[in-house]
Amino acid sequence: MCSHRCFLLFIFFLASHSCVTSRILPEISTTTSTTLDVADSIRKTKDATSFRLNQQEEQSHFPSSSSFSLQLHSRASVRGTEHADYKSLTLARLHRDSARVKSLLARLNLAKADPKPVTRMYTTEQEEIEAPLISGTTQGSGEYFTRVGIGNPAREVYMVLDTGSDVNWLQCAPCAECYHQTEPIFEPTSSSSYTTLSCDTPQCKALEISECRNATCLYEVSYGDGSSTAGDFATETFTIGSASVDNIAVGCGHSNKGLFVGAAGLLGLGGGLLALPSQLNTTSFSYCLVDRDSDSSSTVEFGTDIPSDAVVAPLLRNHQLDTFYYLGLTGISVGGEMLEIPASSFEMDESGGGGIIIDSGTAVTRLQTGVYDSLRDAFAKGTTDLDKAAGVAMFDTCYNLSGKTTIEVPSVAFHFPDGNMLALPAKNYMIPVDTVGTFCLAFAPTASSLAIIGNVQQQGTRVGFDLANSLIGFSTNKC
């Protein structure tokens, strides 16, 4: 009797344990390894310190589902990187990346401490618009740049593309303090469509920091890393592709400093009311980030749907700060096996802390220290056949791949609800840090509760934002 009862209890325990395990570590269908083209990656490092943006005009145009297309533009003279070798370029990128993450965390902490309600702005009719997206390496920044026309007549300039910002701005004459940019500084008096905003306008009231002088709205944006911009808040005509859009709120910065060297200003693609998607009244946009060591271009498109074959994830919002795009991530797998990490590692709490955002401006994906340690250890377990190398800056898992042409490395994939999975190409997480064959695992730990999916992991994938349906889509090889 007891034997029979014990047997039944034992079977019940096994069944219960199996159910719990399957919820925490679901079975997945993915390859355990993927191929890294070492030789090609090293070749690109040798080209990265010498390419010029004016090579763009020799390339063919991109097919696009958008009804407007912006042609590729050459530049009379574009300076190359100021770094003599790829190692120093890498260290400079990582230094800027640390400053970037610091600025995002400062912004979030400020919002949690003192959130400011804003009112709905008047926006334009929805349109489908497209602009080119270019790696910012030659521009003196680690960010990505888009080419837009400002004013009437339109003057085309390169502006930093940033999903972590809402306020659009550019440097304006006269300059009290301006950094060096590769094109002449914008002169508001030369544009017939430039109009300063008064202090009682919805646009001015939507600013987090604003002042009023002679009934004119003044703006100021500080990024937490020492970068800042301040000046008049105005409306201006933006020409994006073949479409001209009037009355876009933009900061006309007369005092600017920081890490934006080379660009004329910044184009905010965040989720706030002053960001470009909101001002265009578009319910969707997408971008594809080109290889950081490439002189090729892709596009940023507005008003286009997420493809039906895209890997889809929930788009979540933080009630304390509507700028950032949070992602419904459920887990990470390495070598085809799910990491044993708590589900709460990627969840946002009631105070607006935690969670994971996707960001175009951060280079290297940041994970909570415990999550990163699990990923690193699983990856290292699958690379015991590779020669180890000393760590570089924030990278603690590096390898000497000199003399190798291709290698197999453990696969890495992001997992989302409903069994959706985004497998990363090996080149998006094993990256070269010099020209002699040192490669590092391109993830980093953070002591913050906020995790960030950076642009290195997004390269070569079109990332689509369906704002109306709260979805993010990932489409590989659709740049």
Catalytic residue flag (residue 418): no
| Adjacency order of strands within the sheet including 331-334 | 337-338, 331-334, 412-415, 421-423
Q: Under DSSP, is residue 73 helix (H, G, I), strand (E, B) or coil?
A: coil
Query: Nearest Cα to 287, choosing from 458, 470, 170, 426?
Result: 458
Q: How far is 376 from 442, CA to CA, in rounded Å?
A: 10
Is residue 18's pLDDT more than 80? Answer: no
Residue recorded with tokens 């030789």: 39
Give the chain's end-to-end CA distance (angstroms, integer).
Answer: 68
CB atoms near residue 305 (< 10 Å): 15
Give a three-class secondary structure readout of 388-422.
EECCECCECCEEECCCCCEEEEECEEEECHHHCEE
CA 415 to chain centre: 19
162, 232, 434, 466: the catalytic one is 162
- Average the pLDDT over each of 160-164, 196-200, 249-253, 267-271 and give the range with the smallest value: 160-164
| Adjacency order of strands within the sheet including 430-432 | 388-389, 398-400, 438-441, 430-432
Q: How far is 257 from 225, CA to CA, in rounded Å?
A: 11
440-469 average pLDDT score: 95
| DSSP character at residue 245 | E
What is the four-CA torsion angle of 47, 51, 53, 55, rounded to 10 degrees? -90
Q: Under DSSP, is residue 328 helix (H, G, I), strand (E, B) or coil?
A: coil
- Confidence class for position 477, pLDDT limits 50, 70, 90: confident
Q: How far is 368 from 391, CA to CA, in rounded Å?
A: 19
Is residue 416's pLDDT more than 80? Answer: yes
Q: How far is 90 from 419, CA to CA, in rounded Å?
A: 36
424-439 average pLDDT score: 96
Letter string b/e over residues 159-169, b meaning 16 or more CB atoms within 10 A of that residue's CB: bbbbbbbbbbb
Q: Specify the pLDDT at position 50.
A: 61
232, 359, 434, 466: the catalytic one is 359
Phi, psi dihedrals of residue 158, rounded to the nearest 5°: -95, 130
Letter string b/e over residues 131-155, b meaning 16 or more CB atoms within 10 A of that residue's CB: bbbbbbbbbbbbbbbbbbbbbbebb
Is residue 474's pLDDT more than 60? Answer: yes
Q: What is the mean pLDDT of the chain?
A: 82
Of 188 and 180, the structure prediction assigns the larger pLDDT to: 188
Q: How far is 428 from 422, CA to CA, in rounded Å?
A: 12
What DSSP letter does each residue of 108-129 carry, written as one string? HHHHHHS----PPPP-PPP--E
Q: Specify the pLDDT at position 139.
A: 37
Q: Specify the pLDDT at position 93.
A: 83
- What is the longest distance spanned by two Cα atoms in the chain? 95
Tokens (6 digits) for 208: 């987090």
Of 145 and 250, the structure prediction assigns the larger pLDDT to: 250
Q: Specify the pLDDT at position 74.
A: 23
Of 398 and 94, the structure prediction assigns the larger pLDDT to: 398
Q: Under DSSP, is residue 48 helix (H, G, I), strand (E, B) or coil?
A: coil
Q: Strand pairing partners for 414?
A: 332, 422
Give per-residue pLDDT as tens, 273-307.
999 999 999 999 999 887 877 777 788 888 889 99
Give per-residue pLDDT as tens, 318-372.
998 999 999 999 999 999 999 999 988 999 998 889 999 999 889 899 999 999 9
Give per-residue pLDDT as tens, 129-157.
555 555 444 334 446 778 889 999 999 98
| DSSP character at residue 65 | S
Cβ distance 219 to 207 under 8 Å?
A: yes
- Confidence class for position 102, pLDDT limits 50, 70, 90: confident
Is residue 234's pLDDT more than 50? Answer: yes
Q: Under DSSP, is residue 16 helix (H, G, I), strand (E, B) or coil?
A: helix
Dihedral sign of CA atoms 194, 198, 201, 204 in order: positive
CB atoms near residue 298 (< 10 Å): 22
Cβ distance 438 to 432 under 8 Å?
A: yes
Of 10 and 287, the structure prediction assigns the larger pLDDT to: 287
- Confidence class for position 68, pLDDT limits 50, 70, 90: very low
59-77 average pLDDT score: 37
**Residue 408: how many CA atoms within 13 Å on its side-chain side?**
7
Catalytic residue flag (residue 225): no
Q: Specify the pLDDT at position 9.
A: 41
Cα Rg of the chain (Å, integer): 24
Q: How far is 81 from 92, CA to CA, in rounded Å?
A: 11
| DSSP character at residue 377 | H
CA 422 to chain centre: 16
Phi-psi region of 36 (alpha: psi -120 to 50; beta: other; left: phi over 0): beta
